[in-house]
Amino acid sequence: MARTPKHPSDPTDLGRNRTGTRSAPLRTKEMLENTAAVPGAMVDTSGLAMARVELSEAAPPVGTMPPPGSVKGMAKAALEALQGEKATVFLDKLGERLAFERTGVRLYEAVLAKMPAAHLGKGSLSPDRVRRFRDEEQAHFRTVREAIEKLGGDPTALTPSADLAGVQATGLVSVVTDPRTTLTQCLDALLTAELADNDGWKLLIAMAEAMGQEDLASRFSRALAEEDQHLVSIRRWIAERLEGQLGAKLPAPEFGVPPPA
Amino acid sequence: MSLDLTSERGVAVEAQQQFDWKDLAGLPYSKLDADAFSRVRVILMNGVESEALRFSHLLARASDPGLRRTLALVRRAEQHQQTLVNWLNPADQSPLETTIGYEQVAIEVTAHLAKHEPDPYLAQVYRFGLLEDFDHLYRYAALLDRLEGKDANNLLQGYTDVRPGRPTRDHHRHPDEDLARPYDRRSAHPLSKLNALTLVAGEYQTHDFYMHVGPLYADPIARQLYAEIASVEEQHVTQYESLADPAETWLERWLLHEATEVWNYWSCAQDETDTRLKAIFERFLDYELGHLAAAREAFERLEARDPFLVIPRALPDPIKFEGHRDFVRETLAREEDLRRDGTGFVPSAREPERSRALRSRLNAQGSPSEAVARGWAWRPGTELVAEPAALH
């Protein structure tokens, strides 16, 4: 594959950013003079709020859970062990994790594509580590998929929470796949994903325990241990890269240290 | 320096199919670093190209196989040009931020055309539309602040004021009030024809863009605001479209479309400061001269007339891409109260009842453009910089 030469500038270089008012002081002065005559200095966002309240009351949900399919054997037993409608709450959150892990694999793949163009230096970040985390996300995806099947759910269905996880991730996907973003900027996006993912697994474990699914809770705990490692590593990579770019050590050593158990 | 259309023949249509996918979907301009008028030019030219495609398809439906082939060849190049130009918009520019760019196009380009329009009636039509798009910018800027917490001036860069114009809630009128009096093809100044087509192109794409992105929003007021303003943009398309003489033949219209494209790319190439974008505009100017040559040949063959009876031998002065703060302010002070009555303009007190009735039904449950901007005034850095006492 033909490679184009690396662009010489970094986003933190002083450049031609024209977005601020100080880029155009004379025009800003004229703009402010013309705007000063606009009545109504009292900020009033009630128009948006009222429409949101009104429609929030009347609106149907973004969607619902799929109807139960043909449930047999172990799955039927497991489903019956869950209590009534609460099973769908658990299955919805499992669907969310499933979707999140699947997108997580793609986020890591996009970050891997950033690495050839990036200066990696002496830090702990390496393509092998990123690839390993990508593979672990895929393994977690399989773990959740098996859990949904065990409970008699349909892992190919998009549950409401899974759908919204996709909406949430839209911005993250845009950041990591934009050829103009740097590796460091993409690690920030990954950190956002992993912070949410980490809490997502903790919630799943708690829900599995609450519903008497000790086996699932145990499997999810193993996934969480790996997710903890992802989080710690990404924090460290970001800190190392920012130290390199700043030319100074970060004074807060707790950044990059695992959160208290 | 003007451009002599009699001698410039540009790049032959057959030689224009020089694109690959990486060219077409290349790197965008920087939302942060590009001049606001680079964004304006990109958006304008997407509109001009989209009008070229739309018109060419309609013409082809009524054409013989020979002309259909010529149109298909030209259209392929136009579609690729549109792709390359429109794909210059960057992914970090949200649909709402791009909307701010669309309204800046509508204000600053319309202001230029209105200032230089030789026909006083047409100039009045343009100033009328201008004041409405000026208010749309204010409403969308309020939405951008209150929905996404962003300052519209990051995009406008101080060139264009953000304040109310003729209120959007008053824009909706009976279709009888949208139709305007057409120019006379035999006596109209060539610039009038190019101006009218440029505005049709700009407003048509604005309408289509709002129709595409409006449903992408989750927020109820955002969805309603796009619906409310898209409805006005449809009125604007009807208004500007009706300015063309209905007696123009289809091939005259094709000549005018191609001449409009040449004029617009030439204008963009003159003003563009980004060297990469300037090269694109210059390249496509040459392509458009080739399209115009094809249209001239078809016209000579099928109508056996001199094309320069329809289009000017030399282009009018180029569009200047610049802020028109004083012109807009003066127009606002003088003409905000104007309304339409048939093809004419009247003070609001004399607006026909049919339009009032239509509007009161549309606004029966409130006006989203009022709800979104209640108490909103532009401040550098969003309204959240206001003293806490001013915040509810």
pLDDT tens for each residue of B228-252: 999 999 999 999 999 999 999 999 9
| Cross-chain residue pair A44–B375, CB shorter than 8 Å | yes
d(CA B48, CA B38) in angstroms, rounded, equals 15
Interface residue B371 vs chain A (CB under 8 A)? yes
* Alpha helices, DSSP H, located in A25-159: 25-35, 46-58, 73-81, 86-112, 127-150
Cβ–Cβ < 8 Å for B229, B103: no
pLDDT tens sequence across B88-97:
999 999 999 9
Average pLDDT over residues A76-87: 63
Residue length of chain A: 261
Say whether B178 sits in a helix, a strand or coil: coil
List all residues 6 or more positions away from B369 whose beta carbon is below 8 Å from its beta carbon: B135, B139, B167, B168, B169, B225, B228, B229
Pick the closest to residue B2 from B343, B210, B314 (CA basis). B314
Q: Does the pLDDT at position A254 exceed 70?
A: no
Pick the closest to residue B369 from B258, B173, B229 (CA basis). B229
Give A261's DSSP letter: -
Interface residue A170 vs chain B (CB under 8 A)? no
Question: In this structure, how many other beta carbons lie within 10 angstroms of the beta carbon of residue B117?
Answer: 20
Question: In this structure, how many other beta carbons lie within 10 angstroms of the beta carbon of residue A217?
Answer: 17
Interface residue B111 vs chain A (CB under 8 A)? no
Q: What is the pLDDT of residue B161?
A: 97
Interface residue A10 vs chain B (CB under 8 A)? no
Q: What is the pLDDT of residue A121?
A: 80
d(CA B294, CA B254) in angstroms, rounded, equals 10
pTM, two decimals, is: 0.94
User: Which residue of A6, A45, A173, A186 is the best one to mutate when testing the B interface, meaning the one whose CB has the most B CBs within 10 A?
Assistant: A45
Average pLDDT over residues A110-136: 93
- In one-letter notation, the amino acid at residue B287 is Y
Q: What is the pLDDT of residue A249?
A: 86
**Count of CA atoms in the C-beta half-sphere (13 A) of A39:** 1
Helix axes B190-213, B220-241, angle to 10 degrees: 160
Pick the closest to residue B166 from B321, B340, B324, B40 (CA basis). B340
d(CA B51, CA B42) in angstroms, rounded, equals 14
| Cross-chain residue pair A21–B377, CB shorter than 8 Å | no
* Angle at B174 (CA atoms; ends B170, B178), nearest 5 degrees: 90
| Cross-chain residue pair A44–B377, CB shorter than 8 Å | no
Pick the closest to residue B139 from B204, B208, B216, B226 (CA basis). B226
Cα radius of gyration rounded to whole Å, chain B: 21
Cβ–Cβ < 8 Å for B135, B348: no
- How far away is chain B from the Cα of A13, in angstroms, using its nearest Cα? 12
| Cross-chain residue pair A50–B329, CB shorter than 8 Å | no
Say whether B346 sits in a helix, a strand or coil: strand
Interface residue B292 vs chain A (CB under 8 A)? no
List all residues 6 or more positions away from B387 whose beta carbon is below 8 Å from its beta carbon: none
Mean pLDDT score of chain A, rounded to an integer? 89
Say whether B131 sits in a helix, a strand or coil: helix
Residue length of chain B: 392
Q: Who among B92, B161, B368 is closest to A35 (CB)?
A: B161
For residue B75, give both structure tokens: 């259209």
Q: Who among B91, B221, B378 is closest to A48 (CB)?
A: B221
- Percentage above 90 pLDDT, chain A: 69
Q: What is the pLDDT of residue A57?
A: 85
| Cross-chain residue pair A21–B154, CB shorter than 8 Å | no
Question: In this structure, how many other beta carbons lie within 10 angstroms of the beta carbon of residue A77?
Answer: 12
Interface residue B329 vs chain A (CB under 8 A)? yes
pLDDT in tens, chain B (392 residues): 689 999 999 999 989 878 999 999 999 999 999 999 999 999 999 999 999 999 999 999 999 999 999 999 999 999 999 999 999 999 999 999 999 999 999 999 999 999 999 999 999 999 999 999 999 999 999 999 999 999 999 999 999 999 999 999 999 999 999 999 999 999 999 999 999 999 999 999 999 999 999 999 999 999 999 999 999 999 999 999 999 999 999 999 999 999 999 999 999 999 999 999 999 999 999 999 999 999 999 999 999 999 999 999 999 999 999 999 999 999 999 999 999 999 999 999 999 999 999 999 999 999 999 999 999 999 999 999 887 666 55
Cβ–Cβ < 8 Å for B166, B132: yes
- In one-letter notation, the amino acid at residue A64 is T
User: ipTM value of the model?
Assistant: 0.89
Pick the closest to residue B201 from B264, B137, B278, B121 (CA basis). B264
Q: What is the pLDDT of residue B299?
A: 98
Cβ–Cβ < 8 Å for B155, B101: yes
- In one-letter notation, the amino acid at residue B237 is V
List all residues 6 or more positions away from A247 whose beta carbon is below 8 Å from its beta carbon: none
pLDDT tens sequence across A162-218:
999 999 999 999 999 999 999 999 999 999 999 999 999 999 999 999 999 999 999
Q: Who among A35, A40, A178 is closest to B162 (CB)?
A: A35
Q: Does the pLDDT at position A85 exceed 90?
A: no
